[in-house]
Amino acid sequence: MKRILILISFIAFLTSCASNEIVIQPNAPINFIAKTERKGDYTFIIPSNFQFLESESLIFEGNGVYRAYLIYKGEGYIQDLVNFFDREMPKNGWTKFSALIGRDALLSYKKDNQLIVIKIQYGLTNTYIKMILTR
């Protein structure tokens, strides 16, 4: 009987830990400095304190077609980054197409026949910006 109680306690402990994701909030910079990125025929803005993770990104380029899934890592609060993109992307000719903001943020911007979908989410110690460049 004692073994069963210990087993049940252990399982309850594991499931309670598994259901609560531990996230360490990043240190947010005071302000973001806009940096222009050019990938294929796309030109967009990214905060300068975010670094491009080439090894985790996927890029397809061929026959004049450019598609990409780009990942950037840095520090910043999600709402501050949403405000940054809302302020900076229109300066580069992008129009906000849609937004879903909750635990993560999902933004989309369009320009001519191009579309950029941006997901902003916390990792364990960093904030990640994941972008899909498509048409």
**Count of Cβ atoms closer than 10 Å to residue 95 Cβ:** 11
Q: Which residue has the tokens 């110690």?
A: 125
Distances (CA, A) of 5 to 16, 17, 20: 16, 18, 23
- Note the pLDDT of residue 28: 63
- Which residue segments constitute the domains of the chain, with CATH numbers given? 2-134 (3.40.1000)
Over the stretch 9-19, which tens digit does the pLDDT of each residue have? Answer: 444 444 444 44
Its pTM stands at 0.78
Over the stretch 92-128, which tens digit does the pLDDT of each residue have? Answer: 999 999 999 999 999 999 999 999 999 999 998 899 9
CA–CA dist 78, 92 (Å, integer): 21
Is residue 31 within 8 A of residue 65, CB to CB? The reply is no
The residue with greater pLDDT, 3 or 115, is: 115
Is residue 93 within 8 A of residue 111, CB to CB? The reply is yes
> What single-letter amino acid sits at 58?
L
